[in-house]
Amino acid sequence: CLFSKVAAEPYAVKRLGVEQGLSNNFVVGITQDKQGFLWFATEEGLNKFDGTRFITYYKNEDNKQSITGNELNRVYTDSGRPIIWIATQRSGLNAYNYETQTFTAYRHDPNNPQSLITDDVTDIAPSSQSAAGIWVSTYYRGIDYLDISTGKFTHYNKETVPGMVNEQAWTVLDGGDGNIYIGHVNGGLSILSLSSKRLRNFKSGGKNATSLPGNNVRCIYKDSNGNIWVGTDHGLALFNPESGEFVNFKNNINEPYG
């Protein structure tokens, strides 16, 4: 096992940075592939760690099989394929097949309405409905669903979803309940029903202790009990879908909500 030594020494801490071969110390995402290797997305390149050393992946203008950008936002391991999905800043979505060691790039094409809606991709999430697709959030144009078999994207933004309050998104989550949860850039939390295309938006209510604590929603997580947790710039919240209210967890009880 790649990390058996770490398991045998649970209290040992080893620092891994640029001195050990990491391309950049600003790490924005981590994932582990099916072979046990760790992948790190940074502000300057993609890194694979084999337990001993780092293998770095950079954009190469002369090689179409390289990653399309060095400034990254997210990495995600495909549950059904030998693929690492990579969200880049301004350079689209990349899929790296670590068995064939090849990159596939998905970029915005203004002449193709079924291409990626914009090249600034902020997050990647699996689809609960089908292993054939993934969700991506973008910084400028809402969220997209990619049908991997066809390479076609379906767009969810102000043009296709009535009531979409904000197209700037940090994160996306498929709740497995027919709803897509969207964390906005200063726009709160939105819940989109895929069947009706109806959207509910929740924002901070000032001193209201049961409202969303902050409007900058950076992460959303569904735990094993089905609870939806929301990470904001003003604390953590647990969402109650029946009441539409939030239980807030904040570091400073004297800090006003909002």
CA-angle at 3, arms to 59 and 49, nearest 5°: 10
**Distance (Å, whole) CA 104 – CA 47:** 17
128: which residues sit within 8 A by CB, 6+ positions away?
174, 175, 176
Confidence bin at 140 (pLDDT 50/70/90): very high
The number of residues making up the chain comes to 258
CA-angle at 120, arms to 115 and 125, nearest 5°: 75
34 phi, psi to nearest 5 deg? -70, -15
Bridge partners (DSSP) of residue 118 are: none
Q: What would the pLDDT profile of 3-36 be if each residue is shown by its tens digit?
A: 555 555 566 777 888 989 999 999 999 999 999 9
**Distance (Å, whole) CA 72 – CA 150:** 25
Round the average pLDDT of the chain to a whole number and report it: 92
**What pLDDT does 235 receive?**
94
Confidence bin at 159 (pLDDT 50/70/90): very high
Pick from 94, 14, 98, 86: nearest CA to 55: 98
**Distance (Å, whole) CA 236 – CA 251:** 9
**Distance (Å, whole) CA 172 – CA 199:** 14
**What pLDDT does 258 receive?**
44
123 phi, psi to nearest 5 deg? -155, 160
What predicted TM-score, i.e. pTM, was given to this entire model? 0.90
**What pLDDT does 257 receive?**
43
Q: What would the pLDDT profile of 23-81 be if each residue is shown by its tens digit?
A: 999 999 999 999 999 999 999 999 999 999 999 999 998 887 899 999 999 999 999 99
Two tokens, residue 251? 């570091």
